[in-house]
């Protein structure tokens, strides 16, 4: 008579218990990745807005602060959203809002910088700030 080889029931139970313990320690590390992703996306969008503000100011300075396709008036926080594509305020559904009171800027001279705060509408609600540059372009 031939002997059968295989795992005993106890060996299988031990392996399942060990896998359960490993899963219980690993799962919490991966559950809240959406909050980290939201924070990274908000920081990235704020960086894009800051870069767009600098490029817009440079284009306006070269054109004598006249409105052109490359020079837009940007005097308050929400004005900077049109400088990037897609517009972070009009995406459907809206992904961001500005949390500045009254959405007003303190500076009144071209080239002065001020800080705007971007708020994510995601459940994590992350925030990021960016430096905006006051650009009061006029239609020639």
The model's pLDDT over 71-115, given as tens digits with 9 standing for 90+, comes to 899 888 888 888 988 888 777 777 888 876 555 556 788 899 888
pLDDT of residue 88: 81
pLDDT of residue 140: 59
State mean pLDDT over 55-80. 89
Quick one: which of 100, 99, 105 has its CA closest to 135?
Answer: 105
Are 121 and 133 within 8 A, CB to CB?
Answer: no
């Amino acid at each position: 008579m031939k002997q059968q080889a295989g795992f005993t029931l106890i060996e299988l139970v031990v392996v399942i218990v060990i896998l359960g313990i490993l899963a219980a320690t690993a799962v919490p590390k991966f559950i809240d990745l959406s909050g980290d992703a939201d924070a990274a996306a908000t920081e990235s969008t704020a960086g894009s807005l800051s870069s767009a503000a600098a490029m817009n100011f440079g284009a306006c300075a070269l054109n004598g602060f006249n409105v052109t396709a490359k020079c837009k008036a940007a005097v308050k926080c929400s004005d900077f959203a049109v400088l990037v594509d897609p517009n972070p305020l009009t995406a459907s559904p809206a992904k961001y809002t500005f949390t500045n009171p009254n959405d007003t800027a303190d500076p009144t001279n071209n080239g002065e910088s001020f800080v705007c705060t971007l708020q994510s509408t995601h459940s994590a609600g992350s925030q990021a700030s960016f430096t905006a540059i006051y650009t009061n372009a006029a239609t020639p």
